[in-house]
Amino acid sequence: MESAEIARRFLRFFEERGHTVVPSASLIAEDPTLLLVNAGMVPFKPYFLGQQKPPYKRAASAQKVVRTLDIDEVGKTTRHASFFQMLGNFSFGDYFKEQAIPFAWELLTRPESEGGFGFPEDRLWATVYLDDDEAADIWRKAGVPQERIQRRDLADNYWHMGVPGPGGPCSEIYYDRGPEYGREGGPIADENRYLEVWNNVFMQYQLSAVRTKIDFDIAGELPAKSVDTGMGLERMAAILQGVDNIYEIDTTYKILDRAADLTKTRYGRDERADVSLRVVADHVRTGVMLVADGVLPSNEGRGYVLRRILRRAIRNLRLLGAGEERYMHELTAVTVEVMGEQYAELKADAPQIHGVIDAEEASFLGTLRTGTAIFDVAAEETKRKGRATLAADQAFQLHDTYGFPIDLTLEMASEQGLQVDEEGFRRLMKEQRDRAKADAAAKKTGNADISIFGTLLEKTGKVEFLGYDHVTAEAEVVGLLVDGVSVPAAGAGTSVEVVLGRTPFYAEGGGQLSDQGVIRTGEAEVEIVDVQSPVSGVVVHRGKVRSGEIRVGDQAQAEIDVERRRAISRSHTATHLVHRGFRNALGETAAQAGSENSPGRFRFDFTAAGAVPPSVLRDVEDEVNAVLINDLRVNAFHTSQAEARAMGALALFGEKYGDTVRIVEVGEYSRELCGGTHVASSGQLGLVKVLGEASIGAGVRRVEALVGLDAFRFLARESVLVAQLSEQLKARREELPERIEGIVSRLRSAEKELGALRSAQVLAGAGQMAESARDLRGVSVVTHRAPDGTSPDDLRRLALDVRGRFPGDRAAVVVVAGVPADRPVVVAAVSEAGRGRGLKAGRLVGVAAKALGGGGGGKDDVAQGGGVRPEAIGEALAAVEQAIEQTLT
């Protein structure tokens, strides 16, 4: 039974039993305490916590999940995976144990011909919490004999969220794979033989304090008991498809097999290669699903999770022999194909997914080249010092700063006959993880308290947005909050959050900044500076009471800043046009990856493999302004998501949409799903001026542009500037580029000549400096302050030149300092004989730099440093002489 069919059967079974089938939420968690969705119940968490009223009593879903806590174990075992899917049925104060257990038993044991999974009843075991007699009785009535019902403690069969809130006992279902997989005795004896396939969580208690998984306080029973269940789709597929593990099921093995084919290896022959193949299969699948939900590689947050996963896949391809070959594109294509039956959006978004992953692969291969060069230097230094082990801090720096995997460091060190201080490396990694955990714990103060908005939504209903057609509206004040606490009234000078029954104010979203304006009642006036929607259906106006007192129940007049709205709307429409223009110029892989629409100005982020040539920027700008001249009508309407896709409407990459969507089209030129505000016709934009583009991350570019009067004023200023240049250079406008290029070329030549003269002047005194060397215990010592303005390169050349004037067998130290700009620089050079006397350039520079209020270092023969105290150069040179004498003594 294929994975897609398993999911279909599960959802159909529960839909027939009154459950609302809820599509998988994005992997990007809305919960502020989570980076990514890490459990099937996460999208329903606000309902379990009572923060929002659920729109249904029963639900079922097939939820995408990413967990990276045990990422280092992925591939090493056949149980761990970073991406998986959880099939779950949920009850929000509706049914409890008496129905949840029979539901699970029926679906598992019903014959496949009748829509079930066909498990033999005698192969199923159940576990319950120690004192949960109720669950045990229900299992016996369902048909499980007493000897196959086992009791387990808090560590195994009790669940909570890790914060105060609902919790309760669990009841798990296990499948006996047979004696060839381990010893008899049920799940408590061997969880490799007895494989967990389903977990029922019975939320029946309110926890008042949670210290650890097994240490918490129970305040009492919940007023409405709920059920949260989970069945791992991949684990179920392994059983139903008759394979040993999750890497051999239909949606994973095809990726693994293609990786083996590309790298000319074979799965099952070599354990080391098998581990790498499993890592590649799992991580490519995880990466594709994350990118499809809008995550982009970066060095922080969920972007770092994605980057780490993709780079682990690429590194393991290298271990399999891929070298510099790029295989991620083909493996991504296989993943899109095998997962596309369950997630149709993967096929529609394939060009964008390829663009992001291809760019990250190219970037990391460059990182590998850089890291290899840095490793070679570290290895050479280690050997030169006569050591056999690469230091832990060097391995950690390669990993943490350059993204160089420790496994690759170990492999390359072994090739050069070196070991790595793994214990020290692991210690440094643990310290870093501990810091990260401390940061996470500091953030984990429970969920953001949005329950008050959920209560308002339940009490007053969804706020009606009137802003597409109105800039003012009369409405009732249905809620007031001060510092997050509901209040009946707020007086002058108070920062307040106002909730109206209906509003013309646009809440920030979809890249569009919020409206600003005023809310007036009979007595009060509130200046609104920000508008947000913390809960779907609730619009919160944030501002300050300028006069009077505003009260819940007041009738209010809401009025937006019309000029600001118009300017933002022009920017938003312009973003749509630029998006379409870049797709026309670069292809469908140029997918929007973010935007911000401000008054008169916007930024637009999109996926691209490299920099966009200036000629393409000009062409896109010309194309967009032609649309403006044609004054195309802007039309907005609602339709189904399926119909929108059939019409070719662009859905923003990674954005979440409901079943009914709003389409904004500009003539026949642009058609996008969008909830923002726009102009009535393209001519109202006036003018669009693209300022330029730049990289903001691997595979993502950012364009900034001006719209309307802001664009006109910019061009007017540019015109004045060009006129001034034309006047000063006595040249026509069209001659300016050539004239300026000539001036710049002459300036560069003059600077080069001046530099050569300065260098010659500096070096001219090298002989005299060597002759005036001071003898310290048989070592020739030269300390010298160069003229201000001497460049760091000239200081270095001078130090080396003076050192080179001493005989080869003479111990010599040369220390030169100067102030190239506003900060002092010091260079030290030590001859080979001087190094034999224990003198090291790096240490001497450190002494001087400390006196200068800075730092520095380098090799034993030559080193450079600096500081922030130019006035202390004399002190620094004296400190060097003292350090030399101490060393020789």
576 is in an annotated binding site: yes
Name the burial class of residue 869, with classes exposed (0-12), middle (13-18) and buried (19+) by CB atoms within 10 angstroms of its CB: middle
Cα separation of 613 and 621, whole Å? 13
Place of tokens 């997962």: 339
By three-state DSSP, how is residue 452 classified? helix
Could you tell me the two tokens for 842?
A: 């790096």
- Other C-beta atoms lying within 10 Å of the C-beta of residue 314: 26
Cα separation of 429 and 91, whole Å? 42
Cα separation of 449 and 447, whole Å? 6
579 is in an annotated binding site: no
Give the CA diameter of the chain. Answer: 104
Cα separation of 580 and 587, whole Å? 10
Cα separation of 778 and 781, whole Å? 9
Q: Helices (H), strands (E): how many in the chain?
A: 26, 35
Cα separation of 812 and 743, whole Å? 46
Q: Output phi, psi for 858, to 5 deg.
A: 155, -155
Say how far residue 449 (Cα) sits from the centre of its chain: 24
Cα separation of 749 and 181, whole Å? 79
User: Whose CA is closest to 866, among 796, 803, 768?
Assistant: 796
Q: How many CA atoms lie within 13 A of 615 on its CB side?
A: 0
Say how far residue 81 (Cα) sits from the centre of its chain: 19
674 is in an annotated binding site: yes
Nearest 5°: the CA angle 108, 19, 460 is: 155
Cα separation of 694 and 696, whole Å? 7
Q: Indicate the Cα dihedral angle 795, 799, 801, 803, nearest 10°.
A: 180
541 is in an annotated binding site: no
Binding residues for Zn(2+), as ranges, are 572, 576, 674, 678
Q: Give the residue numbers of the binding site.
A: 572, 576, 674, 678
